[in-house]
Structure 1
Amino acid sequence: MNYRSQDILRGAGFANVRALYKADGFTDDELKRPIIAIANSYNSICPGHIVFRQMADRIKEGIQAAGGMPIEFGTIGACDGIAMGHNGMRYILPAREMIANDVEAMVQAHRLDGIVLLGSCDKIIPGMLIGAMRVNLPTILVNGGPALPGHMGQGNPYGGEYIDHSFIQQSEGALRSGDITQEEFDWIENNAVPTVGSCAMLGTANTMGCLAEAMGIMLPGVSSIPAVYSKRMAAAYDTGKAIVELVMKNIRVRDIMTKEALKNAIRINSAIGGSTNAVLHILAIAREGKIDLDIREFGEVSKEVAHLVAMIPAGQYTLLDFYEAGGVPALMQGIADNLALDVLTCTGETLETNLKRAKNLRPEVIRAGKDPVHTRSGIGILYGNIAPEGSVTKPSAIPDDALYFCGKAKVYEGEEEALKSIRSGDVSEGQVVVIRNEGPKGGPGMPEMYKAMKLLVGMGLGSKVCLITDGRFSGSNNGCFVGHICPEAANDGPIAYLKDGDEIIVDVKNGTIDAPFVDFDARRKEPYTYRRKVEGYLYQYAKNVKSASLGAAIPSCEGE
């Protein structure tokens, strides 16, 4: 077979290329094989990525065993948790585009034949998939797996046996309101995250891992294997073997990640109660693959499947429970009638064939469609005069008594101002907290309003206050919240013209978000002028980024 790498490895004219590879220690025999890249986001900052040194070695062994030549390059992998609640969060979503560029540049510059994407946490997986969609080569993604959860049987806020990293921030609110002692708070800090791995709850990291598997771009059953389990190393080896098969069969990423595959992932996101950030990422991935999928269709597809797995923060279970129950294959088998089963996967087989081996081992964790956790879907897209281009919420994480919320606006120009006010006790029951100028352009970088919402939940206000924003939320947020309000304030969206005391109605069941008594056209006579001064990469990002309703992506070709 004529691999594309051979175009720069044959003949006297490319002896210099062969010489450079030989300087790395490769042999003539190896240079006749397909050259497979491992795009590795290893670092010793992010606990979800610490396992990647070992995993990369196992992937290489799998590639070599199957007849390929493995090479490796690095990319960044920032930790949302460490970046949370300060200016560092403004770099997290923009980092997604940097990762996509890294993958594209390294793979294209060296004429590589296939890619193994080694990423775990929130923006790393989608960034890698965006880059892979651009180059459209045989591709498999493998994640590092979730951490084991902390154990807390007595007084568990989720109603089960386990806690997770997100509970720490929630506990700050409880500490401030006097519901727990400093000693209890310190115990939570020291015991909530007992191992390496992506956070044990269903945040964006584990959501995107599960959705990558649901799309067919990860081997079946791999996404939820705990980071510290030996099976994760076996999965890395199997991934190395499988990528060589894809290269030899010339099965490319766009052959797998089709529109029907992405719609399968949207349905799985609803079933698991996945992160609101999945909306941004799937829309951006679709855009890069020239797939016609918009936010409205995302919302419609989400309604097709109810919430079936009650994982933290929308229930008592963790990724460990989900793994023990059978993971993504067991869930997909249970809702097979709602899925496109004829889609191709990275095994070289169809989804239908892969699911024949699936089994639900814990039906109390992965519920049947006739016995859902909630009849409502995991993701809701709301429209109204505050969000004419759409906004995003997570019905599965909203308490029943807050699915309809009417309150008076309390407006903040950014997260910092809101956090200071909440911590000072200035937010009261019945208010709608409005945090604006935190969208992709205005933030810039669309930071998560994670801390603000977690503080409110910890203070007992999770269902008594609603938080709306043109920024984002973490996959671990719960309570009454709406994000991704479009157009954002920096794009002259209606949210820019809300004032303290405006009545706001959030009706999740009916999909609306309105300020019924506000004449936004009249208020626009006094233009919204608030802007943050930014420089460096964030300046370039803010200048070029598209709306959150389009995936907060930076155009990669003319005409976008």
Structure 2
Amino acid sequence: MYWRSKDILKQPEWSNVRALYKSSGYTDDDLSKPIIAVVNSFSTICPGHFNLRSLAQHVREGIRAAGGTPVEFGTIGACDGMAMGHDGMRFVLPTRELIANDIEMMIQAHRLDGMVLLGSCDKIIPGMLMAAARLDIPAILVNGGPTLPGKLKTNNPYGGEYVDHSIIQQSLGSLQSGKMNEEDYLWLEDHAVPTIGSCAMLGTANTMGCLSEALGMTLPGSSTIPAVYSARMAVAYESGKAIMSLVQNNLTARKIITRDSLENAIKVNSAIGGSTNAVLHILAIAYEAEIDLTLEDFGRISKEVPHITPLIPGGPYTLLDLHEAGGIPAVMKVLEKSLALDAITLTGRTVGENSSKVRVKNTDVIRDLTNPSNKNGGIAVLTGNLSPEGAVTKPSAIPKEAHTFRGPAVVFESEQDALQGITSGMIKPGDVLVIRNEGPKGGPGMPEMYKAMKLLVGMNLGSKVCVITDGRFSGSNNGCFVGHISPEAAEGGPIGAVRNGDIIAIDVNQGTIEVESEDFSERCKDVNCYTNTKFKGYLFSYGKLVNSAAKGAIIPVR
């Protein structure tokens, strides 16, 4: 059987390469087998990645048990939670492209035969899946698993008994407005995140772990296993074994990442109420796989499936609850009639075959289609004179009374200006808070308006003020918000022409976002594009090269 690494390991022509492997302790027997990359984003910075060093060992053991030779290298993995609310957030989305590029360079330079990708958090999973689609070699993703949630039975803002990390920022608004005392606030710091793992709610990290499974790139049932469970180690071992089956059967990434599997993932995202960031990432993965998928497609497909799993921030439950209810296989079982059941997965079996014996174990957590948590899909795409290329929101995280919102604009030219405006009391119920110049180019880096939204929710303004931006939001955000407004201000988009006092009307159900002003179209012809010249280095290059959020904020590679 042929595999790529043979091209540079044949004797005697390639003895120089063999000698370099042998200098690291590899043997002739090792070099007679497929060479499999273990791509590890381990760090002690990011709690979602803290356990990846130990998981990598189990992956390597699985590879060896199945007849392969593992080689390991690292890549970066930033923590969104630590980067929130300051200039560091501009650097997070751009790491996605760096990760994809790093993996491509290492795999191609060394002619490796397959790869197991170890990542857990927001931009790392999509960056790894982008690399898999770009390279089109056998690949499996193993996530580190979610943290166990903190417990808070009294005054729980989510309505259940669990909380997660995002409650801390939300509670800062309560503290600052006198609705919470400092002792209770500091208690959250010590108890909201009791273990390692990706955040316990359905933020971008866990959304993308779940969608990797829905795509067929992660072992069925594994994406929701908590980071501290022994089953997490067993899955790593089994994934090491599974990659060898993919190599032996030449089941490459693009045979799994197809139009059908991407549509399956979009429907699962809608059903679970996944992060708005999933829009950027699924479009980017589709681009790398050379599949024509648009923002309009995403919005249309999302409408086909209601929100059936009320997970924080769109309900009281956590990833632990979802796991115990049956995980993504159970969600896909409920969606069976709307999915492409013949889509192939890394198991070599189809989606239908994988879910044939699955059952839902808790119908409060995973509801039937006839009893959804929200009749709207998890993601909605809005268009109108304010966002002709489209904008993104998350109906499952918006209070129903705010699905239609109309109010005067209060305009800020950056996130920091908006935060100052919120804390100084400039924002009143009924306002539409406009934050611009924070898109992929204008930011640069398209930072999340996480902190602004959390402060408003903590001040009991989450449904009384609507935040709109050409930046983006965290998967943990709730309240009334619309992001990814495209074109962004830095590209001459209409958001750059909005003035204080303009009446803005948002209708999530109808999919519209409009400025109600007779002269708005004329103003849009004379928008002064903003360019952030403060940043140099990679962000300077990123801002020059990156495409619109409506196209996934990709940097073109072809």
> Aligned letter for 1:285?
I
Aligned partner of 2:57 in structure 1 is 57
Cα deviation 1:285-315 (Å, max 9, x = unaligned) = 0011110110001000001110000000010
Aligned partner of 1:89 in structure 2 is 89
**Residues 489 and 529, structure 2, Cα contact 8 Å, conserved in 1:** no
Counterpart Cα distance in 2 of 1:519 and 1:313: 38
Counterpart Cα distance in 2 of 1:309 and 1:117: 27
**Residues 273 and 310, structure 1, Cα contact 8 Å, conserved in 2:** yes
Residue identity over aligned pairs, in percent, reads 61
Aligned partner of 1:362 in structure 2 is 362
Counterpart Cα distance in 2 of 1:526 and 1:389: 18
SS at match of 1:408: strand
> Aligned letter for 2:102?
D
Cα deviation 1:102-158 (Å, max 9, x = unaligned) = 110000000000010100000000001111111100000010000000000011111
Counterpart Cα distance in 2 of 1:166 and 1:518: 40
SS at match of 2:47: coil
**Residues 491 and 529, structure 2, Cα contact 8 Å, conserved in 1:** no
Confirm whether residue 546 of structure 1 aligns to residue 547 of structure 2.
yes
> Aligned letter for 2:335?
I
**Residues 314 and 396, structure 1, Cα contact 8 Å, conserved in 2:** yes
Cα distance, 1:528 vs. partner? Answer: 1.4
Confirm whether residue 150 of structure 1 aligns to residue 172 of structure 2.
no
Contiguous gaps of at least 5 residues in structure 2: none
> Aligned letter for 2:310?
A
> Aligned letter for 1:353?
E
Cα distance, 1:357 vs. partner? Answer: 3.1
Q: TM-score, normalised by structure 1?
A: 0.99
Cα distance, 1:530 vs. partner? Answer: 3.0
Cα distance, 1:518 vs. partner? Answer: 4.7
Counterpart Cα distance in 1 of 2:506 and 2:373: 22
Confirm whether residue 444 of structure 1 aligns to residue 452 of structure 2.
no
Counterpart Cα distance in 1 of 2:360 and 2:324: 9
**Residues 261 and 343, structure 1, Cα contact 8 Å, conserved in 2:** yes
Aligned partner of 2:32 in structure 1 is 32
> Aligned letter for 2:419?
L
**Residues 84 and 448, structure 1, Cα contact 8 Å, conserved in 2:** yes
> Aligned letter for 1:237?
Y
Cα distance, 1:531 vs. partner? Answer: 2.4
**Residues 496 and 529, structure 2, Cα contact 8 Å, conserved in 1:** no
Cα distance, 1:532 vs. partner? Answer: 1.5
Counterpart Cα distance in 1 of 2:107 and 2:213: 23
- Structure 1 stretches of at least 4 aligned residues deviating more than 6 Å after TM superposition: none
> Aligned letter for 1:548?
A
Counterpart Cα distance in 2 of 1:227 and 1:159: 25
> Aligned letter for 1:513?
I
**Residues 383 and 391, structure 1, Cα contact 8 Å, conserved in 2:** yes
What's the RMSD between the two structures over aligned residues? 0.8
> Aligned letter for 1:438?
E
Aligned partner of 2:425 in structure 1 is 425
Cα deviation 1:149-170 (Å, max 9, x = unaligned) = 0000011111101000000000
> Aligned letter for 1:270?
S
Aligned partner of 1:502 in structure 2 is 502
> Aligned letter for 1:111?
R
Change (3 A) 1:21 1:455: same
**Residues 334 and 368, structure 2, Cα contact 8 Å, conserved in 1:** yes
SS at match of 2:212: helix
Cα distance, 1:363 vs. partner? Answer: 1.3
Counterpart Cα distance in 2 of 1:15 and 1:244: 25
Confirm whether residue 183 of structure 1 aligns to residue 196 of structure 2.
no
Aligned partner of 1:136 in structure 2 is 136
**Residues 407 and 430, structure 2, Cα contact 8 Å, conserved in 1:** yes
Aligned residues: 557
**Residues 376 and 396, structure 1, Cα contact 8 Å, conserved in 2:** yes
SS at match of 1:499: coil
SS at match of 1:13: coil
> Aligned letter for 1:393?
T
Cα distance, 1:548 vs. partner? Answer: 0.3
SS at match of 1:389: strand
Cα distance, 1:331 vs. partner? Answer: 0.7
**Residues 492 and 529, structure 2, Cα contact 8 Å, conserved in 1:** no
Counterpart Cα distance in 1 of 2:547 and 2:239: 34
Counterpart Cα distance in 1 of 2:73 and 2:357: 34
> Aligned letter for 1:401?
E
Moved more, 529-538 or 69-78: 529-538
Aligned partner of 2:48 in structure 1 is 48
Aligned partner of 2:371 in structure 1 is 371
Aligned partner of 1:109 in structure 2 is 109
Cα distance, 1:4 vs. partner? Answer: 0.8
Cα distance, 1:175 vs. partner? Answer: 0.5
Counterpart Cα distance in 1 of 2:492 and 2:525: 12
> Aligned letter for 1:78?
A
Counterpart Cα distance in 2 of 1:315 and 1:521: 39
Aligned partner of 2:326 in structure 1 is 326
Cα distance, 1:524 vs. partner? Answer: 4.2
SS at match of 1:48: helix
Counterpart Cα distance in 2 of 1:238 and 1:363: 29
SS at match of 1:153: coil
Aligned ranges 1:333-482 → 2 under 5 Å: 333-482=333-482
Aligned partner of 2:530 in structure 1 is 530
Aligned ranges 1:202-213 → 2 under 5 Å: 202-213=202-213
Counterpart Cα distance in 2 of 1:121 and 1:529: 33
**Residues 50 and 197, structure 2, Cα contact 8 Å, conserved in 1:** yes
Cα distance, 1:520 vs. partner? Answer: 3.4
Counterpart Cα distance in 2 of 1:343 and 1:170: 40
Cα deviation 1:344-398 (Å, max 9, x = unaligned) = 1000111111112322111111001111001111000000000000000000110
> Aligned letter for 2:548?
S
SS at match of 2:115: strand
Aligned ranges 1:213-228 → 2 under 5 Å: 213-228=213-228
Cα distance, 1:525 vs. partner? Answer: 5.7
Aligned partner of 2:20 in structure 1 is 20
Cα distance, 1:59 vs. partner? Answer: 0.1
Aligned partner of 1:170 in structure 2 is 170
Counterpart Cα distance in 1 of 2:406 and 2:384: 14
Cα deviation 1:157-189 (Å, max 9, x = unaligned) = 111010000000000011111111000100111
Counterpart Cα distance in 2 of 1:487 and 1:173: 31
> Aligned letter for 2:121?
C
Aligned partner of 2:270 in structure 1 is 270
SS at match of 2:17: helix
Counterpart Cα distance in 2 of 1:442 and 1:19: 49
Aligned partner of 1:293 in structure 2 is 293
Aligned partner of 1:250 in structure 2 is 250
SS at match of 1:483: strand
Counterpart Cα distance in 2 of 1:519 and 1:19: 72
> Aligned letter for 2:88?
G
**Residues 502 and 518, structure 1, Cα contact 8 Å, conserved in 2:** no
> Aligned letter for 1:69?
T
Counterpart Cα distance in 1 of 2:28 and 2:524: 68
Cα distance, 1:199 vs. partner? Answer: 0.2
Counterpart Cα distance in 2 of 1:19 and 1:190: 51
Q: TM-score, normalised by structure 2?
A: 0.99
**Residues 36 and 69, structure 2, Cα contact 8 Å, conserved in 1:** yes
Cα distance, 1:529 vs. partner? Answer: 4.2
Moved more, 233-242 or 355-364: 355-364
SS at match of 1:240: helix
Aligned partner of 2:260 in structure 1 is 260
Change (3 A) 1:303 1:89: same
Cα distance, 1:521 vs. partner? Answer: 3.9
SS at match of 1:270: helix
Moved more, 529-538 or 278-287: 529-538
